Chain A
Amino acid sequence: MKIALIKYNAGNIQSVAYALERLGADFVITEHPEEITKADKVIFPGVGQAHTTMQFLKDRKLDEVIRSLRQPVLGICLGMQLLCRYSEEGNTGCLGIFDETVKKFEADSQHKVPHMGWNQVEFMANGLGSFVQQPSFYFVHSYYIPVNSHTLARCEYILPFSAIMKKDNFLAVQFHPEKSAAAGEALLHYFLNSFNVRA
């Protein structure tokens, strides 16, 4: 099984690659549409700013490539947010897989922004709750996706938000599985071995 890790200006590609290496996955880091399209599964990482990142993807026609994928896809952090319809970060039109709006956290006296550190997630009744024993993951983000009908697991910071979402062949996580110790590895393992939805 070949995994394509989409290469673009995301900050965490190397970390995701090392995590895949530790799991013994067969993967390639690539920006070539053909290589991405023919892979068995695709990982769409992401650390950065929504607007500049979408522009980068559009310039390389990677936006069309990602939209057209039929094999299992995992979006991570900004990768998850860019799979939504629109982001308040830089008023950015995104890929529209999930018909959701990405909103900015408003800091208050009890909560700092970004939401940075380890937080627990709670699986919804329809979730994949059994794949991880201690669902605590590492988050770093200032924007969030509200809980919606695609939410598989939610997390709470200032308000409840989507930690994991799924729609058809797209799985998306707000946290960084590549930096979330055993729980993160369990999630990546789930995606590599058990998430086999094709559209």
Chain B
Amino acid sequence: MLTKRIIPCLDVKGGRTVKGINFINLRDAGDPVELAAAYAQQGADELVFLDISASEEERKTMHKWVRDVARQINIPYTVGGGINSVADVAALLEAGADKVSINTAAVERPALIEELANAFGSQCIVVAIDARKIHNTWTVHTHGGKRTTDKKLFTWAKEVQERGAGEILFTSMDHDGTQQGFAIDALQKLNMLLHIPVIASGGAGSPGHFLDVFVLGRADAALAASVFHFGTIKIPELKHFLHQKNIPVRL
């Protein structure tokens, strides 16, 4: 049976992982490779790296750490952040990334999704969608959530799929950082609407939230950052909990 995926998300800036990382026995918690290896060891099914470098200078490190991760890590990983073109993606895939994630660039120029799917295959193109409810309408945001767009979540998700995305990474900005659970209603609707996998993001705070996102939200995968980084939730324990609740997971 196809298992539900558990995906830690790592922010990288200037080649270093940021945010509080609370792993035991790590020589260097700021090293993407070392952190990725620790997560792979714990049983993470995939990893997502988001490069939040602000300057061109910082971003120059991207290909190096992407390549270093590929050398060391034996599970799939996605790289996102500042990707704008076929050439950007070609370089990252060549460095060893399995998938890339695009967000703002897709909203600004939706044809980019087709260009990437045609050039590299849908399976490696993830479109990330950040959205929050405004006047009861799920509204897409760009630039790391800073800018509101006129796109609506469900029509945009459907368009993204039709244009050839292989997967959607949906983050509810209303739930992100709250640790109060995922956006179950929106996920339910997305998963009814789409025939490509959906990764749920935003709101993970307890193992029960993961159970809900898979059973009620019907998500294919769940992504979280701080609960894993701070060790609030440990991946092996989370997977055993889900397994006991009859959710198919890789143990």
B52 to chain A, nearest CB (A): 25
A180 at the interface (CB under 8 A from B): yes
With beta carbons under 8 angstroms apart, the residue of A19, A49, A118, A180 that contacts B121 is A49
A88 at the interface (CB under 8 A from B): no
Interface of A is mostly: mixed
A112 at the interface (CB under 8 A from B): yes
- B122:A114 contact, CB within 8 angstroms: yes
A112 to chain B, nearest CB (A): 5
B233 at the interface (CB under 8 A from A): no
- A179:B251 contact, CB within 8 angstroms: no
Size class of the B contact interface (CB-based, 8 Å) = 20 to 34
- B121:A11 contact, CB within 8 angstroms: yes
With beta carbons under 8 angstroms apart, the residue of A118, A136, A180 that contacts B74 is A180
With beta carbons under 8 angstroms apart, the residue of B2, B120, B195 that contacts A157 is B2
- B3:A11 contact, CB within 8 angstroms: no
In the complex, how many residue pairs between chain A and chain B have their CB atoms under 8 Å apart?
86
A129 at the interface (CB under 8 A from B): no
- Using Cβ atoms and an 8 Å threshold, which residues of chain B touch A184? 74
- A118:B3 contact, CB within 8 angstroms: yes
- Using Cβ atoms and an 8 Å threshold, which residues of chain A touch B2? 115, 117-119, 139, 157
The residue of chain B having its C-beta at the shortest distance from the C-beta of A111 within the complex is: B2
A138 at the interface (CB under 8 A from B): yes
A145 to chain B, nearest CB (A): 17
In whole angstroms, what is the CA distance A182 to B37 when docked?
13
Q: Count A-side interface residues using an 8 Å CB cutoff.
A: 38
- B70:A179 contact, CB within 8 angstroms: no
- Using Cβ atoms and an 8 Å threshold, which residues of chain A touch B96? 14-15, 18
A97 at the interface (CB under 8 A from B): no
B75 at the interface (CB under 8 A from A): yes
- A116:B167 contact, CB within 8 angstroms: yes
Interface residues of B in 95-147 (CB under 8 A from A): 95-96, 98, 120-124
B1 to chain A, nearest CB (A): 7
- A119:B3 contact, CB within 8 angstroms: yes
Interface of B is mostly: loop
In whole angstroms, what is the CA distance A139 to B1 when docked?
12
- B75:A120 contact, CB within 8 angstroms: no
- B120:A185 contact, CB within 8 angstroms: no
- A119:B75 contact, CB within 8 angstroms: no
Q: What 1/0 flags go to B192-220 for Cβ under 8 Å of A?
A: 00111100000000000000000000001
- Using Cβ atoms and an 8 Å threshold, which residues of chain B touch A19? 74
- A136:B250 contact, CB within 8 angstroms: yes
- A48:B70 contact, CB within 8 angstroms: no
- Using Cβ atoms and an 8 Å threshold, which residues of chain A touch B76? 138, 176, 179
- A18:B197 contact, CB within 8 angstroms: no
With beta carbons under 8 angstroms apart, the residue of B5, B122, B123, B194 that contacts A118 is B5
Report if A181-B196 is in contact (Cβ < 8 Å); known contacts: A117-B5, A119-B2, A138-B76.
no
- A179:B124 contact, CB within 8 angstroms: no
- B123:A178 contact, CB within 8 angstroms: no
In whole angstroms, what is the CA distance A163 to B63 when docked?
33
- Using Cβ atoms and an 8 Å threshold, which residues of chain A touch B120? 11
Interface residues of A in 135-177 (CB under 8 A from B): 136, 138-142, 156-157, 176
A132 at the interface (CB under 8 A from B): no
- A22:B121 contact, CB within 8 angstroms: no
- Using Cβ atoms and an 8 Å threshold, which residues of chain B touch A119? 1-3
B12 at the interface (CB under 8 A from A): no
A28 at the interface (CB under 8 A from B): no
B94 at the interface (CB under 8 A from A): yes
- A11:B124 contact, CB within 8 angstroms: yes
- Using Cβ atoms and an 8 Å threshold, which residues of chain A touch B1? 119-120, 156
What are 6 pairs between A and B in contact, CB < 8 Å? A112-B194, A116-B197, A117-B2, A117-B221, A118-B250, A180-B74
Name 15 extra pairs, CB < 8 A, besides A11-B124, A181-B74. A11-B93, A14-B70, A107-B195, A112-B195, A116-B220, A117-B4, A117-B5, A117-B197, A138-B76, A141-B123, A179-B74, A179-B76, A179-B98, A181-B40, A184-B74
Instruction: Write the residues of chain A forming the contact surface with B, with a CB cutoff of 8 angstroms.
Output: 11-12, 14-15, 18-19, 21-22, 47-49, 107, 112-120, 134, 136, 138-142, 156-157, 176, 178-182, 184-185
